[in-house]
Chains A and B, each alone.
Chain A
Amino acid sequence: MRRFSYSRPATLDEACHSAEHTRFLAGGTNLIDLMKSDVERPAHVADLKALGMHHIDEQPDGGLRLGALATNADTAAHPLVADRYPLLASAILAGASPQIRNVATNGGNLNQRTRCHYFYDPDMPCNKRSPGTGCSARGGRNRIMAILGTSDACIATFPSDMCVALAALKATVNLTGPEGERSVPIRDYHRLPGETPWRDNILRPGEIVTSIDLPPASFGPHHTYLKIRDRLSFAFAIVSAAIGLQIEDGIIRHGRIALGGVGTKPWCVPAAEALLEGKPPSHSLFRDVAERLLQGAMPDRDNAAKLRLAPRVIERALWQASAGTPQSQTDKTIR
C-alpha cells in the first residue's frame, strides 16, 4: 500500500470537493484490498461514513430509497426489502459471505471493481488498471471473463450480484457531485469498456452515490435470482440471472431480465424482455428469449462454457419465476 492522506468529511458538499485523485471509502471490502495489492493508488481517501446515508425509507410513490451507506446485510434483512423486493434481497444474499455483507455497503457494491485476475495483479498489463498497457485477459486465463459487451481493450465482467437485481428492478441511482444532483437509471450507470475500460461507470470526479431508488412495481411471487458459481457459496457468478415477471391469467404481461457473470455490465436486452409480453410461459419462448439475450456473445480462450451454460440458466430461471418458486439462497437445491 502506498502513502495516502485520509479525511472524514462531515458534509456531502465537503466530500464532493475532495482533492484530485480521491477515492471514497465506504465499507472498504474492495477498496482496501485493491490498495494493498497496489491496484488502487489514491493520493487521498475520503471516508464517507460520517455522512449518514444509511437509511432505508419508504417513498411517497410507494417505492423505496436505499441509502448508499446501508450495508448489504441490513438492506437484505430490512422488512420492506424482504417483503416487497425479495428479488433484491435474494441477489444480495447470493453474494460474498455474511461477514463481507455485514460491512459492504450499497454504494460500494455499485462501484466495486472487476475480479479479473490480471486487473488484480500489478505485474500484468491491464487496460483497466493501467490504460494503454494492453489486455492480458484476452488469450489468457479468462474462464471468469465476460462474453457480452466486451471490446478489444477489455473483457472483464462487472462482478456484482446486487446490481443484477437492481437492473432487473429498473432502479435509479441518485448522485451528488460538485455540479449538483442528478439521477441515473441503473441500466445506464455502468459502462461498456469500449476504448476506455478504466471508466467502469458514469460517475464523474467528486460525484458520490447518495442512494438508490426502487420503483414501486414489484413482481409478487414471480421472480428469482439464480446464480451458478464454482462452489455453492462465497464465489462470484459464472452466470446469474435476475428475473421478474408480471403474470396474469397464465399470461406474462411484462418481464424484466438481467444477467450477471456474462457481461461487462449487468446485462439487459429490452428486445428480449419484449418477447415475453403477452405470451404464456413455454420452452420455445424461453429459448428464444435466451437466444436474444445472448446475441453477439463472444467467448475467448477459456470461457466458452459460459456460452453453453447461460441459456440453460436463463431458461431455468424463467421457469422458476413463472412458477413462483424463486431460488432459495440457503437451500442449494436448484429448483
Chain B
Amino acid sequence: MNVISTNIGQSVSRIDGFAKVTGQAKYAAEPHPPGLLYGVIVNSPIARGQIAALRDTEARKIPGVVEIMTHRNRPHTALFEKSYVDGLGVPGSPYRPLHDAEIRFNGQPVAIVFAETFEAAREAAMLVEVDYERWPHNADFEAALHQKYMPSKTRSNYVPPKSRGNAPEAYALSPVKVEGRYHLAPEHHNPMEMHATTVIVEDDGTFTVWDKTQGPQSVQAYLTSALSLSGDKVRVHNPYVGGAFGSGLRAQYNVFLAALGAKMLKRSVRVTLTRPQMFTHVFRPEAVMDIALGASPDGTLQSMIVEGVTDTSRFEHNMENIVVWGLINYKCPNATAGYTIAPRDTYTSSDMRAPGATTGVNFFEMAIDEIAYACNMDPLTFRLNNYSDTDAMHDMPLTSKALREAMVQGAQHFGWHDRPMAPGSIRDGNELIGWGMATGIWDAMFSPTSARARLTADGRLHIATAASDIGTGTYTILAQTASEAFSTPIDRIDIELGDSTLPECPTEGGSWTAASAGAAVWLACQILREKLFKALAKGKNIPAWVKQGLEQDNLTLEDGILHGMNENQKIVLSFQDALSLIGQDALEVEETAKPGLRGTISQMRKARFTHSAVFCEVRVDQELGIVRITRLVNAVAAGRIMNPKTAASQVRGAMVMAAGMALHEESLMDERVGRFMNHNFAEYHIPAHADIPDMDVLFVEEKDSEISPLGVKGVGEIGMCGTAAAIANAIFHATGHRHRNLPISPGS
C-alpha cells in the first residue's frame, strides 16, 4: 500500500503550498463580487487636534466617486464606547474610526473615498482637503517617560512581577555588579500582506467579510458590536493570511471602515491599506529597561533588579510582560521588578511576535552575559550555574524545562567549547569574530478550542475549526493530527479554517494554536472513531466479521480502511462501504478540547514555558561598524514537535526577525508631528538575504504530558526570544563593546 497515514512528528510539506504558489489561495483583498466599490482612506497629518473644515468638492468631481464618508455623514454606529472593545481587550477607550472630529494620533483616518475603481478612489483621496486645529501633543518617548504610570485596570494577560528577598540590599552587598539601561526602538510588524478587507453584501443583505486577521470570530464579534449589526448578519473569512505577527490580533480600522461603508452604501466594498498606512496602526512599543545584577565572584547570582517602561497611546493602556522573565528563569535569592507604561500621542502600541519577551528576555540575557563576564565566567557556565528547575518568581513547579539539554546540545552543535573567553581575541583580516549565546523563554499556552470532524460517503474526512493559519503551517499540522488520530491518509483529509461560523477557536496568537487546535482535532477524531464503531455495532446489515471484530476488539482502522479477520482471512472495509452499511451519508462530531483533553488537568498548579538556547557567530568590521552574522544555532525545547519542517521554519523566521531587531529594524518617530517617517520598505530595513546566514534549528527532546493534551508547546514565537541577545553578546565578544540600544546600526 502506498498511501499511508501521516503521523504527528513527521516532516510534511505544507498541504496548502500548491494553492499558494499557484495563486489559488484567496486572500482578503482578492474576492471580486459584482459591483465592488473601492475605498481609499485619507489619514491625518497631525497627532492631536480636531478637524476644523473638510472640503471634498474637488474630490467628488472625479468620475466614479460614489461617496466620501467622514465623521459627519457616516451611518449610525454603536452608542457606547465599550461596544468598540475588540478581542485583545486593551483597557482604556478604544479608538473609534470616524467617530468625531477629534484627532488622537497621526495617521488617524479622517475620510474614506468610495469609488467604482481603485484609481478613482485614490485620486479623489488625494483631493480631499482638511483643515485642522492643532493641539499640543507629545510623541517623544523620552518626554513620555516623565508621565509613566500604572493603569488601575491592567491587561488580562499581564503578569505582575513578584519580588523575593531583599534585592536592593543584596545588590549593594554584591561583590560583582553590573548595571545598565537598555533601549529598544519601536518596530512595525510589516507582514508581507498589508491589512485589507473585502465586504461582500449578499442578496439577503448579510455581510460576508474577508479580512486579514488572526481571529475571524473576534472580528465578527467586534463588527456586530461596534456597528450594531445583528450577529447572524456578519460572517468573517480569513482562509489565508499573508503573515501578521500580531498585527492581526486587533480589528484594524480598515475592517471597520469597509463594513461601515457597506452599511452606508449597501454595496460590496474593498479597503486595502498601503505600506505607509501600515505604519499608522499597531507597532511593537518602544521600551527602556534598567537592569542591575549582583553576583558573588564564583558566579552565583545574588540580586536582580529590573525596571521597565513601554509606550502606549493616550487613550489605551497597552501593557507587556517585559520585566518578569529573568525572575522566572533564574535561581536567585533576591529579585524585584517594576513596570509602568508611558503615554504618548500615537496609536496604541500592540503585541508583536513574542510581545514582552522579545524585549525583556533579550535585554535580560544581554545583562546576564555582562555579569558572567564581570565574574570572569563563561556565559554558558554562568547560566547553568544559576539554572532554576522551577518558575523561580512564582515558586511553582514547571510542567517541563529541557533548557539545560538545549544549552548543552546547542553548545555541542555550535562548537562552543572552543571559544576563547577574552573579547576581541579572534581576528581575520579586518574582521573581529565573536561568539555569543543567550537563552530564550516564552509562554506555552493552551486555550480551549473546538473542532468538527465529519466523515462523508466518499470516504473523506473533513476537519473544521475557526483557527487561522497565518502562514505558520496550521493546515498541515492539523491534517497530520487528523491523519494520525483517524488513521487516514493525509490526501483524504480536508481542513477548513478561517471562517467565523466554524467551531469556536480563540484568535491565533501566543503560539497556542498548534497545541489547542491540535488537541481539538485529535479529540474530535477520537470521538468520531468511537461514533463510527458504535454505529457499526448497532447497525442491521453489518457483516458478521465486523460485529465480531468489534466485540473482540480486533477491528482496526489503518490507512483509512477498517481491517478485521474473517475465518482467519484478513478482510477490509472501506469508509464508503461502512457508511453505506450504516445507512448514513455522513457521520459528524464536534468536540471541545480543554486542558487535559477532557478537562481534567488544571492549568493553575504548574508553570508552563517553552525554552531555547541560541548561539551566534558574528564578524565585525569594527572600524566601519559593519556586523555580519555568519552562524546561528537555536536549540529549542518545545515539547512534542508536530512537524519538524514547519516548526523549524517558524523558528528560523523568528530568528530572521530577531536579527532585524538586533541590527536593522527601527521605526523613526518624528516627534514634532508624531509620525513614523520611514514608512516604506526602502527605508524600514528588514534583513535581506545577504544578512542572514544558514541557520540550524535543533529540537531537544522534551516529553511533557501535562502541558497540553498532545504534549505540544508551540514554536511560533520562541525564536524571537534570546536570538537578538545572542547577536549582541557575540558583538561584545568580537569587539569588547557593549551595545545596549537595539538596533545596533552602522555608526552606532
Q: In the complex, given contacts A228-B625, A332-B690, A333-B628, what are 19 additional A-B residue pairs having Cβ atoms less than 8 angstroms apart? A: A38-B126, A117-B678, A117-B679, A120-B680, A121-B276, A121-B679, A123-B675, A124-B675, A144-B683, A230-B746, A233-B689, A236-B682, A238-B747, A305-B746, A309-B747, A312-B623, A312-B624, A313-B624, A334-B431
Return A83 CB to nearest CB of chain B, in Å.
Answer: 26
Bound form: Cα–Cα A325–B675 in Å? 44
Residue B316, interface by CB 8 Å: no
| B628 partner, pick from A38, A140, A141, A332, beta carbons under 8 A | A332
The residues of B that contact A236 with a CB separation of less than 8 Å are 682
The residues of B that contact A305 with a CB separation of less than 8 Å are 746-748
Residue B454, interface by CB 8 Å: no
User: How does the 8 Å CB contact mask read for B185-202 relative to A, with 1 for contact and 0 for none?
Assistant: 000000000000000000
- Contact call B688/A234, Cβ cutoff below 8 A: yes
| A1 partner, pick from B43, B123, B687, beta carbons under 8 A | B123
Residue A143, interface by CB 8 Å: yes
Q: Which of A120-147 contact B (CB under 8 A)?
A: 120-124, 136, 139-141, 143-144
| B122 partner, pick from A1, A118, A144, A313, beta carbons under 8 A | A1
The residues of A that contact B683 with a CB separation of less than 8 Å are 115, 117, 144
The residues of B that contact A144 with a CB separation of less than 8 Å are 683
3 smallest CB-CB distances across A and B, nearest first, come from A305-B747, A123-B45, A232-B690
- Contact call B688/A141, Cβ cutoff below 8 A: no
The residues of A that contact B625 with a CB separation of less than 8 Å are 228, 309
- Contact call B431/A1, Cβ cutoff below 8 A: no
5 A-B pairs (CB sep. < 8 Å): A122-B126, A139-B672, A228-B624, A230-B664, A231-B687
Residue B668, interface by CB 8 Å: yes
- Contact call A141/B623, Cβ cutoff below 8 A: no
Q: Which of B658-694 contact A (CB under 8 A)?
A: 663-664, 668-670, 672-673, 675, 677-680, 682-683, 685, 687-691
Which residues in A have some Cβ–Cβ distance to B below 8 Å? 1-3, 37-38, 115, 117-118, 120-124, 136, 139-141, 143-144, 228-236, 238, 305-306, 308-309, 312-313, 316, 332-335
Bound form: Cα–Cα A313–B123 in Å? 44
Return A226 CB to nearest CB of chain B, in Å.
Answer: 9
- Contact call B663/A231, Cβ cutoff below 8 A: yes
- Contact call A140/B690, Cβ cutoff below 8 A: no
Residue B554, interface by CB 8 Å: no
Return A35 CB to nearest CB of chain B, in Å.
Answer: 11
| A3 partner, pick from B43, B123, B628, B675, beta carbons under 8 A | B123
Residue B412, interface by CB 8 Å: no
Which residues in B have some Cβ–Cβ distance to A below 8 Å? 43, 45, 119, 122-123, 126, 276, 429-431, 619, 621, 623-626, 628, 663-664, 668-670, 672-673, 675, 677-680, 682-683, 685, 687-691, 745-748
> Chain B interface mostly helix, strand, loop or mixed?
loop
Return B134 CB to nearest CB of chain A, in Å.
Answer: 13
Bound form: Cα–Cα A120–B677 in Å? 9
The residues of B that contact A115 with a CB separation of less than 8 Å are 682-683
The residues of A that contact B690 with a CB separation of less than 8 Å are 231-234, 332
* Residue of A whose beta carbon sits closest to that of B745: A230
- Contact call A233/B688, Cβ cutoff below 8 A: yes
Bound form: Cα–Cα A39–B475 in Å? 43
- Contact call B669/A334, Cβ cutoff below 8 A: no
The residues of A that contact B746 with a CB separation of less than 8 Å are 228-230, 238, 305, 309
Return A315 CB to nearest CB of chain B, in Å.
Answer: 9
Summed over the interface, the residue pairs from A and B with CB atoms below 8 Å come to a total of 103
Bound form: Cα–Cα A3–B689 in Å? 38
* Residue of B whose beta carbon sits closest to that of A306: B747
The residues of A that contact B122 with a CB separation of less than 8 Å are 1
Return B122 CB to nearest CB of chain A, in Å.
Answer: 6
- Contact call B45/A228, Cβ cutoff below 8 A: no
| A121 partner, pick from B430, B664, B677, B687, beta carbons under 8 A | B677
* Residue of B whose beta carbon sits closest to that of A302: B668
- Contact call A141/B678, Cβ cutoff below 8 A: yes
The residues of B that contact A232 with a CB separation of less than 8 Å are 626, 628, 688, 690-691
Bound form: Cα–Cα A19–B396 in Å? 77
Return A225 CB to nearest CB of chain B, in Å.
Answer: 14
- Contact call A231/B688, Cβ cutoff below 8 A: yes
Bound form: Cα–Cα A124–B106 in Å? 12
The residues of B that contact A308 with a CB separation of less than 8 Å are 747
Bound form: Cα–Cα A332–B747 in Å? 17
Bound form: Cα–Cα A123–B44 in Å? 9
* Residue of A whose beta carbon sits closest to that of B747: A305
Using known A-B contacts A1-B122, A235-B685, determine if residue A334 contacts B624 with beta carbons closer than 8 Å.
yes
Return A100 CB to nearest CB of chain B, in Å.
Answer: 10
* Residue of B whose beta carbon sits closest to that of A143: B668
The residues of A that contact B126 with a CB separation of less than 8 Å are 1-2, 38, 122
The residues of A that contact B687 with a CB separation of less than 8 Å are 231
Return B473 CB to nearest CB of chain A, in Å.
Answer: 27
Using known A-B contacts A230-B685, A232-B691, A335-B429, determine if residue A124 contacts B45 with beta carbons closer than 8 Å.
yes
The residues of A that contact B626 with a CB separation of less than 8 Å are 228, 232, 334
Return A310 CB to nearest CB of chain B, in Å.
Answer: 10
The residues of B that contact A306 with a CB separation of less than 8 Å are 747
Bound form: Cα–Cα A120–B685 in Å? 16
The residues of B that contact A117 with a CB separation of less than 8 Å are 668, 677-679, 683
Bound form: Cα–Cα A115–B680 in Å? 11
Return A15 CB to nearest CB of chain B, in Å.
Answer: 26
Return B691 CB to nearest CB of chain A, in Å.
Answer: 5
Bound form: Cα–Cα A115–B623 in Å? 26
- Contact call A333/B429, Cβ cutoff below 8 A: yes
Using known A-B contacts A1-B119, A235-B685, determine if residue A334 contacts B621 with beta carbons closer than 8 Å.
yes
Return A124 CB to nearest CB of chain B, in Å.
Answer: 7
Bound form: Cα–Cα A3–B680 in Å? 24
Using known A-B contacts A118-B677, A231-B687, A333-B429, determine if residue A316 contacts B623 with beta carbons closer than 8 Å.
yes
Return B128 CB to nearest CB of chain A, in Å.
Answer: 12
Return A91 CB to nearest CB of chain B, in Å.
Answer: 17
| A141 partner, pick from B43, B670, B747, B748, beta carbons under 8 A | B670
* Residue of A whose beta carbon sits closest to that of B678: A117
Residue among B276, B668, B670, B747 facing the most chain A CB atoms (10 A cut-off)? B747
The residues of A that contact B679 with a CB separation of less than 8 Å are 117, 121
Bound form: Cα–Cα A236–B745 in Å? 14
The residues of A that contact B623 with a CB separation of less than 8 Å are 312, 316
Bound form: Cα–Cα A306–B748 in Å? 10
* Residue of B whose beta carbon sits closest to that of A229: B746
Bound form: Cα–Cα A57–B664 in Å? 41
Using known A-B contacts A120-B680, A305-B747, determine if residue A231 contacts B668 with beta carbons closer than 8 Å.
no
Return B161 CB to nearest CB of chain A, in Å.
Answer: 34
Bound form: Cα–Cα A292–B581 in Å? 93
Return B55 CB to nearest CB of chain A, in Å.
Answer: 17
* Residue of A whose beta carbon sits closest to that of B107: A123
- Contact call B747/A231, Cβ cutoff below 8 A: no
Bound form: Cα–Cα A53–B249 in Å? 52
Bound form: Cα–Cα A333–B689 in Å? 15
Bound form: Cα–Cα A37–B274 in Å? 10
Bound form: Cα–Cα A305–B747 in Å? 5
* Residue of A whose beta carbon sits closest to that of B44: A123
Return B603 CB to nearest CB of chain A, in Å.
Answer: 42
The residues of A that contact B43 with a CB separation of less than 8 Å are 123
Bound form: Cα–Cα A308–B746 in Å? 10
* Residue of A whose beta carbon sits closest to that of B686: A231
Return A192 CB to nearest CB of chain B, in Å.
Answer: 24
* Residue of A whose beta carbon sits closest to that of B621: A334
The residues of A that contact B691 with a CB separation of less than 8 Å are 231-233
Bound form: Cα–Cα A234–B683 in Å? 10
Return A283 CB to nearest CB of chain B, in Å.
Answer: 13
* Residue of A whose beta carbon sits closest to that of B625: A309
- Contact call A333/B431, Cβ cutoff below 8 A: yes
